[in-house]
Every structure is written in C-alpha cells, then in structure tokens.
Amino acid sequence: MIKCYECGKGNLLKKQAEYRQYDILIGKFPAEVCSKCGEVFFSSESVDKIEEKLKKKNLWGLGSQTTIGTSGNSLDIKLGKKLVEFFDLQKGQRVIIEPKSSNRFEVEIVK
C-alpha cells in the first residue's frame, strides 16, 4: 500500500472523488484518498479531465492579475470579462470590501 503524500500515515485507497470549484460540483473523478487524513490526490488523467470540464463551464482562469488604476481622486480595480460574467456583475452593484491581512482583501457581492 502506498502511504499518504500529505500525512505519511494513512494508506491511499482508489476511489471516485468529488471535485468542486467555487462550491460548484464539477463531477466525480478517479483519485487516491488517504484513509487517515482524507486528503484527495487526483490522477493526472483526472486533472486533465477536470481542466477540460472547467474550461467548458467557463470556470477556468477566473483568477487573474490586474493593475490598480485611477478614477478621479480614488483608485479603482478593473475586473476582467470572465469574472464579470461569472458573478453576473453590473455597474452600480454594491460590494463590501474587507481587509483580510496586510496584502489581501475580500470583496463580497451584496445580494
């Protein structure tokens, strides 16, 4: 039996494991799951299949780098087309911005 790459204690068991992206269930794919810590390791074939499904569902590459611009006396951040479509954002949409650490903040869409 192969030991877990994460905890080194549990045995890896072949299973169909769920893959979720942004809380959206993408499907079940062949994986090895640790009997101790529950860590899931998808096979390289599964990773390819997952990538393909994410691209089909337009969930691939939503994270991106952008540059802070200016708008009058304040700064603004432009959101790419993929993010705008994923969150169905429109001009005037209210959001809450909250600092999370010295180099990270979170933006919550007010529903």
Does 6 bind Zn ion (CB under 5 A)? Our answer is yes
Our finding on whether 34 is near Zn ion (CB under 5 A) is yes
How far is residue 59 from each of residues 30, 39, 42, 52, 63, measured CA to CA in Å? Answer: 21, 23, 18, 10, 10
Q: Is 36 in the site for Zn ion (CB under 5 A)?
A: yes
Query: Is the Cβ of residue 41 or residue 86 nearer to Zn ion in the bound state?
Result: 41
With CB under 5 A as the contact rule, which of the stretches 15-23, 29-37, 64-72, 76-84 interacts with Zn ion?
29-37
CB count within 10 Å of CB 86 equals 15
- Name which of residues 39 to 68 contact Zn ion (CB under 5 A): 39
DSSP H helical ranges for 31-71: 44-56
Q: Which residues bind Zn ion (CB under 5 A)?
A: 4, 6-7, 10, 34, 36-37, 39
